[in-house]
Amino acid sequence: MAKTTLKIKGMSCQHCVMSITNALKGLKGVRDVKVSLEKGNADVSYDEKLVTIPQMSQAVTDAGYTVE
């Protein structure tokens, strides 16, 4: 199990947090997601054999946010 933190721009409310959480949890291999509006990031625990950081970044981008 691997962990990473994605820096995310464009979040402004709890709806944003839920959108990003759902986008990441929808990926096969993502085990846990904690999105912080205050910190502007998402801590993700994932199986690196099933999902990559670029795939997670793309899911966030597809949800309408920017990954730094």
Class of the domain covering 2-67:
alpha beta
Q: How confident is residue 55, by pLDDT bands cut at 50, 70 and 90?
A: very high
Average of per-residue pLDDT across 2-15: 97
Determine the distance from the C-alpha atom of residue 2 to the mean position of all C-alpha atoms in its chain, rounded to a whole number: 14
**pLDDT at position 30, please?**
98
**pLDDT at position 18, please?**
97
Q: Which residue has the tokens 């099933």?
A: 50
**pLDDT at position 3, please?**
98
**pLDDT at position 46, please?**
98
Write the pLDDT tens digit of every residue in 10-53: 999 999 999 999 999 999 999 999 999 999 999 999 999 999 99
d(CA 53, CA 13): 24
The three-class DSSP label of residue 27 is coil
